[in-house]
Amino acid sequence: MDNTRNSPFKGFLNYLSLIRFSHTVFAMPFAIIGFVLGVTELKQHNIELPFLLPLFIKMLLCMIFARSAAMAFNRYLDRRYDALNPRTANREIPAGVIKPQHALLFTVVNSVLFVITTFTINLPCFYLSFIALFVILFYSYTKRITALCHIVLGIGLALAPVGSFLSVAGYLTWLPVLFACSVLTWVAGFDIIYALQDEGFDVQNKLHSIPAALGIRKALTVSVLLHICTAVFIISAGLFGQFNWVFWVGAVFYFVMLVYQHLLVKPGDLSKINMAFANTNGIASIVFGVLTIVSLLF
């Protein structure tokens, strides 16, 4: 039975759960960083700024629409595997809370809204929207073909600071690209940690992931290396952008949280994966994002 028919509010909550709306916290701070970078870029060149609130709202809507489409499509495409996996069998589609065709329609609607919203911003964002949609939707297929699926997910979220910078400036510079690279390696690294809990299931069902390909211990090593790259990109962005001490406080906190999540998860003890994945990365992203924005504005 599709419970979304019983109560509009209950249905709304079901769809928020379907797309794990709370996980928007991972990429959203970096999108806002990209937006503020675009503002400071125009100010440095004495270019007159438009009224920014409508543009900021459109940027946020783009983030929400794109992520909603990606998550719903992922749940739709993975519904058979989710039903077989004890960890995911209670998700909305296999549990019968949301019908597959409704999740697919939800994907289409959000994709269309995303493209339309980018068109109202500027042409560079509009053109990029098709590439962004391809990447974030194609990710759902990658576990079937390559262990590099974590990198593809990272690329999808890395488009956030690039797209938001473009929404303001209309062109790209190296600084948002450096932040995008940090997002790519950060997301890929913690997605490998998250995938550890499905290593056996992936092997059994011939799905691809770094843990399934290399085993838990080597997968954790790859995750560490990716997060070292994240630190390098963040440091490079700080030096290239000549950020003040506020940024570096945020950067140090961010690095400490990266180290902390690797201390939480060990080859012989995966019990704290959810804490490492959601809590640690969410807090790191918010604190670093806020301090970076404060550094840019003040």
Q: Report whether 17 contacts 278 (CB < 8 A).
A: no
Domain extent, residue 243, equals 7-297
Give the position of tokens 């870029």.
Answer: 41
Which residue from 152, 150, 158, 261 is spatially nearest to 202, judged by alpha carbons? 150
What's the pLDDT score for residue 86?
A: 94
The count of domains in the chain is 1
Classify 232 as helix, strand or coil.
helix
What's the pLDDT score for residue 21?
A: 67
Q: Which residues of 3-21 are buried (b: 16+ CB within 10 A; e: fewer)?
A: ebeeeeeebeebbeebbee
Residue 1 lies in a domain: no
Rounded CA-CA distance 70/97 in Å is 19
Give the position of tokens 């503002």.
Answer: 39
What's the pLDDT score for residue 259?
A: 97
Rounded CA-CA distance 5/15 in Å is 12
Residue 83 lies in a domain: yes
Q: Report whether 114 contacts 156 (CB < 8 A).
A: no
Rounded CA-CA distance 28/289 in Å is 9
**Burial of residue 296 (number of CB atoms within 10 Å: 0-12, 13-18, 19+):** middle
Q: Which residues of 258-284 are buried (b: 16+ CB within 10 A; e: fewer)?
A: beebbebbeeeebeebeebbbebbbeb
The residue type of 66 is: A
Q: Which residues of 199-209 are buried (b: 16+ CB within 10 A; e: fewer)?
A: bebbeeeebbb
Rounded CA-CA distance 190/220 in Å is 9
Q: Where are the alpha helices (DSSP H) in the chain?
A: 8-18, 28-44, 52-77, 79-84, 100-119, 123-142, 149-169, 174-195, 199-204, 210-214, 216-240, 245-264, 273-274, 281-297
Residue 219 lies in a domain: yes
234 Cα distance to chain centroid: 17
Residue 30 lies in a domain: yes
CATH assignment of the domain containing 273: 1.10.357.140
9 Cα distance to chain centroid: 26
Alpha-carbon separation of residue 228 from 82, 190, 221, 252, 290 (angstroms)? 32, 12, 11, 13, 22
Per run of 10 residues, the mean pLDDT along the chain (length 298 residues) is: 57 80 80 96 86 93 95 96 95 94 97 98 96 96 97 96 96 97 97 96 97 97 98 98 97 97 92 86 95 95
Rounded CA-CA distance 291/298 in Å is 10
Residue 108 lies in a domain: yes
Q: Count of alpha carbons within 13 Å of 171, Cβ hemisphere only?
A: 3
What's the pLDDT score for residue 2?
A: 46
Residue 289 lies in a domain: yes
Does the model's pTM come out above 0.85?
yes
Q: Which residues of 238-255 are buried (b: 16+ CB within 10 A; e: fewer)?
A: beebebeebbbbbbeebb
Q: Bridge-partner residues for 8, per DSSP?
A: none
Residue 211 lies in a domain: yes
Residue 2 lies in a domain: no
